[in-house]
Amino acid sequence: QITLKESGPTLVKPTQTLTLTCTFSGFSLRTRRVGVGWIRQPPGKALEWLALIYWDDDKRYSPSLKSRLSITKDTSKNQVVLTMTNMDPVDTATYYCAHSAVLPPRFDNWGQGTLVTVSS
């Protein structure tokens, strides 16, 4: 059974850096074609893909946010970490991590999400 869970701060101040951790079980990021992605959703709005990291450490980013994002993995801990710099109130959203087992990637299992509020 695949599970993912996001963790991190619920409140960050403008200009700060957000660090979110996705801890997963039921699969390995050493397995060929496996990837973990991050998607966010502002309150009442649609989903937005942010980043994705693959088993071979290939990384993909949303072009509109690429300069602010970094995604890394710790295979031994079954974790994927997303950092987003220079946070702004418009970045207030629920942040989800999700699993993909195929190429091209599609998200078949999602974490429960974590709400991050950006406010001074």
Partner 1 sequence: DIQMTQSPSSLSASVGDRVTITCRASQDISNYLAWFQQKPGKAPKSLIYAASSLESGVPSKFSGSGSGTEFTLSISSLQPEDFATYYCQQYNSYPLTFGGGTKVEIK
Q: Which is nearer to partner 1, 84 or 113 (CB)?
A: 113
Q: Cβ distance 60 to 52 under 8 Å?
A: yes
Q: Cβ distance 19 to 81 under 8 Å?
A: yes
User: Rule CB under 8 A: is residue 25 a binding residue for partner 1?
Assistant: no
Taking CB under 8 A as the binding criterion, the range among 12-20, 69-77, 83-91, 106-114 that sits at the site for partner 1 is 106-114
Query: Encoding tokens for residue 35?
Result: 């990837």
Site residue total, partner 1 (CB under 8 A): 22
Residue 61: Cβ within 10 Å count = 18
- Interacting residues toward partner 1 by CB under 8 A: 37, 46-49, 52, 60-64, 96, 104-113
